[in-house]
Structure formats: structure tokens, C-alpha cells
Amino acid sequence: MDFSYYDKVVRGSEREDGLLIVQFLKGMVGETFSFLNYYKEIPVSYDARLVSVENDMAEFEVHEYQAKVITFEKKVLIRSHEKSPVPEDLVGEVFYVSATRKKVILSRFHYAKIRSDLRRFVRVCLDDARRPDADIHCEDDIIPATVRDISLGGVALQVNGPLGCLEVGKEVNLILKLKSVEDLSFSEIGASARVVKITEDFPSPTCILEFHAERHSQQSLAYYINQRQVEIIRELKELAV
């Protein structure tokens, strides 16, 4: 699970926090908790019932789709329960998971603050083979890039070459070359953007931009994101794990 989804919180020490969380869970057997995971940036959140707690292991009954995503993420975000003595959310690491049995066993709990709930827009991840191209116009440079994930307000781009004049805070012009899911036609969307983060990933750096598209472009982009969201949800339902 990507740490960008949450901030780890330590109230005492990690060991003390883990013991307190397990003690809390032991008194909550039979209660329902709200689980949260992400599949290709789409939130997957269903209720999970706490079945038992033995030692530091907590067994939950979960939704089939939740179990499928947990199989990949190996962690679960648990929103703070109304009966919890502390306001923090929880993170549990996966010891066992079965989508067919709709069962997960978590351990090694710690406190967290879920940040991904604060996102203003739905974000979708693009598959490697279908990632659209983009051009970043920075001063006199045209920097080619490939879209990794995108929302109505921002995009993560894999830069296909030198960063040139790109740096955090830089104002640039962005051209997105989106391919329609249905008819495979291309449409170009232009927007003014600002560089908010650059990570030196290998083999290509990632540049994260915040942008504000014009109304017409925003409608085209919203349609594209919605179509991709439908694809991801269908893929999750059909996923065999």
C-alpha cells in the first residue's frame, strides 16, 4: 500500500500502540469496521465484521472485492471506530487473506491518519500498455511524458527524457493526448499547470502536476476518467485471485 494514502501516527511507542490496539479489538469482537483499500487508485471500501482476536491476530469477515484488493496491497486501512478511545485510524498488515472464504487475518497494527479521504477528485491509474502521451511545455522546452495516473485536478507523468527546466513550483503548459476507450480516437486537452512534486524514480523520473482545465476540456477529461473508472471496477469484479 502506498504511504501517500496515510500518515503513520505513533502515540507512545510502536510496541505500546500495537498492544493497546489489540486490547481495544478484543473488546470489539462482533462489531463492524470500515475497511479501505485502493485498486488502481480507485477506493474500495466495505464493512468488515471482527470475528475473533487471538494474541496479536484479528480475524475479519470481509467483502469478496475487499479481499481481492487486500491480496495485492498486503495492508488494510481501517477508519476510526466510533467506540475507539482515540481519534486515529488504524493500519493492519495482512497475515492471511482469502477472497473465496471472504476472510482476512490482520496483525502488526499501528495508528494512522488517512490522507487519501481528503482527495477532491477521483484518481485513476492507467495500464502500462494504454498510458496516454503528454507534452510539457516549459519555457522553450517541449518535454515528452507518459500519463501514469490522472484526476480532474492533477496528473502524475513519467518523464521520457531529461527534466530540462522542470522544478517544483514551475508554471508550465500541459498537453494531454487522450485515447477514447470506446472508439480509440484521440483528443488533445490543454491546460496551464504547476509542478508540485518531482521524484527521481528509476529509470524515469515522475513529475506531478496540478492543473485547471477549461470547462470544455474538463468535460472531456471527466468522461475519460469515468470510462476508466468503469473499466477498473469491472476488472476488479472479474479478477481471479
pLDDT tens digits along 103-123:
999 999 999 999 876 677 888
Mean pLDDT of 30-34: 97
Q: Give the separation between CA 182 and CA 126, rounded to whole angstroms.
A: 15
Q: What is the pLDDT confidence band of residue 26, given thresholds at 50, 70 and 90?
A: very high
- pLDDT value at position 76? 96
- pLDDT value at position 139? 86
As a whole-number percent, the residues of the chain with pLDDT over 70 amount to: 93
Give the residue with greater pLDDT, 51 vs 219: 51
- Would you say 174 and 191 are in contact if contact means Cβ atoms under 8 Å apart? yes
Q: Which residues contact 226 (CB under 8 A, 6 or more apart)?
A: none
- pLDDT value at position 119? 74
Give the residue with greater pLDDT, 33 vs 176: 33
- Would you say 56 and 22 are in contact if contact means Cβ atoms under 8 Å apart? yes
- pLDDT value at position 31? 97
Q: Give the separation between CA 105 and CA 53, rounded to whole angstroms.
A: 9
Mean pLDDT of 200-211: 86
pLDDT tens digits along 55-67:
999 999 999 999 9
- Would you say 150 and 177 are in contact if contact means Cβ atoms under 8 Å apart? no
In degrees, rounded to 5, the angle at the alpha carbon of residue 185 between the alpha carbons of residues 153 and 157 is: 35
| Nearest residue to 208 via CA among 137, 141, 150, 162 | 150
In terms of pTM, does the model score above 0.85? Answer: no
Q: How many CB atoms lie within 10 A of CB 138?
A: 21
Q: Which residues contact 138 (CB under 8 A, 6 or more apart)?
A: 164, 165, 166, 170, 172
pLDDT tens digits along 149-205:
999 889 999 998 888 888 999 999 999 988 765 555 667 888 899 999 998 877 788
- Would you say 102 and 134 are in contact if contact means Cβ atoms under 8 Å apart? no
Domains of the chain: residue spans and CATH: 3-118 (2.40.10.10), 124-238 (2.40.10.220)
